[in-house]
């Protein structure tokens, strides 16, 4: 049975990192986008990363940051995986990841008009940009297209995701305690990612919601058809 991996994103406090880890999160996301209310400085992220136990992945989120600035941030905040959430081309993602010598996730923000063909082409371009010894393309994260870059708490039509992509992608965008079981049962993603749905306020996570969200994902894993 596939165990859906879980990333909790936009953490800013030690108590929230501890709650996510205790609840079984596989990854913790730190937002290096200054306009976000979840923004943390590289120094602050380093303090939070230092509290992580082994086998919990620190993910750094970037929006249209030049390669050398990404590398400088990673030298201070030792994230293990980069997530490019802006308008970066595949090559810009790979160049920034190579400068930082880290693997990367590329983000596709899904619109109602998005087609499966577009998504398949986007993944192919992303995979073609992969540099296995310096900047491995780790996969796609699907989020909802909104007038911000992310963290909006809005869902998109999950049926737009081609099945051949879903099982190796991260599903994101408006996930919550209420919809996580159904999202996992319908999409069978490799992983899910959530921010707004587990917050008391932007950047302030709710330990109870985190635990309930992870339980809901596990309930989705337990539904029939999860043979992968
Ligand atoms: O979270 C933010 O504030 C943010 C700002 C700018 C770019 C990306 C951002 N978050 C990226 C994430 O991975 C979020 O978890 C993802 O967009 C889902 O957010 P939500 O819909 O609130 O669960």
Range of the domain at 75: 5-222
**Inside any domain, residue 228:** no
User: What are the backbone angles phi and psi of residue 143, rounded to the nearest 5°?
Assistant: -125, 175
Is 190 within 8 Å of 139 (Cβ atoms)? Answer: yes
Q: Identify the CATH number of the domain in which residue 72 sits.
A: 3.20.20.70
Measured from the Cα of 29, ligand 1's closest atom is 13
168 within domain boundaries:
yes
Question: What is the CA(171)–ligand 1 centre distance, in A?
Answer: 12
Alpha carbon nearest to ligand 1 atom 19, residue:
151
Does residue 207 belong to any structural domain of this protein? yes
Residue 143 CB–ligand 1 contact under 6 Å: yes
Residue 185 lies in a domain: yes
For residue 213, give the nearest of 188, 189, 195 by alpha carbon: 195
Q: CB neighbours of 57 closer than 8 A, spacing ≥ 6?
A: 7, 26, 27, 28, 80, 81
Q: How many CB atoms lie within 10 A of CB 124?
A: 11
What's the domain count of the chain?
A: 1
Predicted local confidence at residue 227, as pLDDT: 75
Tokens describing residue 209:
């919601």
Q: For residues 194 and 7, is the Cβ–Cβ distance under 8 A?
A: yes
Given 16, 26, 93, 143, the catalytic residue:
143
State residue 228's pLDDT score: 53
Tell me the C-alpha distance between 54 and 140, whole Å. Answer: 24
- Inside any domain, residue 198: yes
Mean pLDDT, the chain cut into blocks of 10 residues (228 residues total) = 96 98 98 98 98 98 98 98 97 98 98 97 96 94 94 97 95 98 98 98 97 98 85
- Tokens in use for 146? 């909104």
In a domain, 227, yes or no: no
Which pLDDT score is estimated for 49? 98
């Amino acid at each position: 049975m596939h165990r859906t991996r879980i990333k909790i994103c936009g953490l800013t406090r030690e108590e929230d990192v501890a709650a996510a880890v205790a609840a079984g999160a596989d990854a913790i996301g730190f937002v290096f986008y200054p306009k976000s209310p979840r923004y943390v400085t590289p120094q602050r992220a380093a303090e939070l990363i230092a509290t992580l136990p082994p086998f919990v992945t620190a993910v750094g989120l970037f929006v249209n940051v030049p390669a050398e600035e990404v590398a400088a941030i990673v030298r201070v905040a030792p994230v293990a995986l980069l997530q490019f959430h802006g308008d970066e081309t595949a090559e810009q993602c790979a160049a920034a990841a190579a400068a930082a010598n880290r693997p990367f996730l590329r983000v596709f923000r899904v619109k109602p008009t998005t087609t499966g063909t577009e998504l398949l082409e986007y993944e192919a371009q992303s995979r073609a940009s992969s540099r296995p010894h310096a900047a491995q393309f780790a996969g796609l994260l699907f989020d909802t297209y909104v007038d911000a870059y992310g963290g909006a708490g809005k869902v998109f039509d999950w049926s737009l995701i081609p099945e051949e992509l879903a099982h190796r992608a991260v599903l994101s965008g408006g996930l919550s305690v209420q919809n996580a079981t159904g999202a996992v049962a319908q999409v069978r993603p490799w992983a899910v990612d959530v921010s707004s749905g587990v917050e008391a306020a932007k950047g302030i996570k709710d330990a109870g919601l985190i635990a309930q969200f992870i339980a809901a994902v596990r309930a989705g894993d337990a539904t029939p058809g999860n043979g992968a």
